[in-house]
Amino acid sequence: MSVLVIIPAAGSGTRFGGDIPKQFQPLAGKPIVQYIVERFLLSGFVEKIVVAVTDALLTTIKQAPGDRVQFVAGGETRQQSVMNAFKAAGEDFDVVAVHDAVRPFFRIRTLEALLDVAREHGAALPALPLTDTIHATKDGILTGTVDRTNIVAAQTPQVFRYDVLRDALERAMRDKYDATDEAGLAAHYGYDVRVMPGDPFNIKITRPEDLALAEAHFEEWSRE
Ligand code: C5P
């Protein structure tokens, strides 16, 4: 099985302060994205990793680390960044995994379980049930409570048969439909997207507090 990994890392969010977007903040001494790339390279199935970055960053990258890693310019949205990476990668893959640039603690065994399910059914993602009560609000006032029975929080890597992701991305471009993740996109176009158990350690580093938490629990959370 030949696997392409796409990492959309072209977001410019700098809520962490300074000029460095969160995906390039250091975690245990290296940029989060680098840590993620190195972890994917541990899987023998992964033939290529394409990282979408901002134009500004692309001009500063002189050489990719090894011939399995490639950098491309991202687009205006996450989905466009994924499309750019997808197009740049070529076609010789059975399966594609798309992974957030800010989730360093995914496990290779989760990836490999997802690969099998995606190959059989077309698409698979890890997700967690919600534990908090979810309320709807308007202008700071609570307006109702969401029934969370059938709601899950999506994680990545999200894995697709090559033809499934290609079709969903191409149709979305034609329709000008922009989804917040690729699992949602595939489901929108009628594909069977299987939900697998997520991992509470596979957090998305979005706020400075998340990075502090990630540093504090690095040893434990990064264990395979
Ligand atoms: O901002 P958000 O959390 O939705 O970003 C999700 C991922 O998509 C991040 O890894 C971010 O770098 C990436 N992204 C991208 N291109 C954009 C916007 C976001 O690659 N234009």
Give the CATH number, domain containing residue 34.
3.90.550.10
Any ligand 1 atom below 6 A from CB of 9: yes
Cα distance between residue 181 and residue 79, in whole Å: 7
Least confident piece of the model among 18-32, 135-149, 193-207: 18-32
Residue with tokens 């899987």: 43
Least confident piece of the model among 13-17, 103-107, 119-123, 138-142: 13-17
| Closest approach atom of ligand 1 to CA 82 | 20
Residue 37 near residue 105, CB atoms below 8 Å: no
- For residue 223, the model assigns a pLDDT of 86
Q: What angle do CA 29, 109, 4 make, to 5 degrees?
A: 80
Cα distance between residue 23 and residue 66, in whole Å: 20
- Band (pLDDT 50/70/90 cuts) for residue 16 is low
pLDDT at 121 over 70: yes
- For residue 58, the model assigns a pLDDT of 86
- The number of folded domains in the chain is 1
Any ligand 1 atom below 6 A from CB of 200: no
Distance 104 CA to ligand 1 centre (A): 15
Q: Which domain holds residue 32?
A: 3-221
The length of the chain in residues reads 224
Any ligand 1 atom below 6 A from CB of 8: yes
Percent of the chain at pLDDT > 70 equals: 96
Cα distance between residue 167 and residue 177, in whole Å: 13
